[in-house]
Amino acid sequence: MKNKLTFLIVLLSFNHLQAQEFEFPLFFEDVFGDKDTIFLGYDMEATTGIDEAFGEINIKGTPLTGLDVRIIDYDYDNIYCEIEGNNDNSSFHTKKQIIDGNCDMPAFPALGIIIDKNRFPIKINWDKDIFPSTCGQGPILTDWYPGGWFDLPCDNTQEVVYMSTIDSVIFATTSLGVYIIEGDTVNYLFYNLVSGGVATEDWNQTDYVSIFPNPTNDKMEVSAEGFIDIMLYDITGNLLFFKENVYQNIELSLNDYPTGLYYVKIKKENRMVTKKVIKQ
**Range in 50-59, 73-82, 163-172, 240-249 the model is least confident about:** 73-82
Q: Are 99 and 46 spatial neighbours (Cβ–Cβ below 8 Å)?
A: yes
Q: Is 5 exposed, middle or buried (0-12, 13-18, 19+ CB in 10 A)?
A: exposed
Which of the two residues, 79 and 14, has the higher pLDDT score?
79
Name the residue among 71, 61, 62 with its Cα closest to residue 113: 71
Determine the length of the chain: 280
CA distance 196 to 206: 19
Q: What is the pLDDT of residue 34?
A: 96
Contact 191, 211 (CB under 8 A): no
For residue 212, is pLDDT > 80?
Answer: yes
Could you report the per-residue pLDDT of 49-94, keeping only the tens digit for each?
899 999 999 999 888 888 999 999 877 666 666 655 556 778 999 9
* Strands 35-42, 96-99: pairing kind: parallel
The band of 252, judged by pLDDT with boundaries at 50, 70 and 90, is confident
**What residue segments make up the domains of the chain, in order of their start?**
9-192, 206-279
Q: Which of 65, 116, 117, 112 is nearest to 93 (CA)?
A: 112
pLDDT band per the 50, 70, 90 thresholds, residue 176? low
**Alpha-carbon distance 147 to 199, whole Å?**
10
Q: Is the pLDDT of residue 251 over 50?
A: yes
Instruction: Please state which CATH class domain 206-279 belongs to.
Output: mainly beta
The alpha helices in 145-223, defined as continuous H runs, are: none
pTM equals 0.63
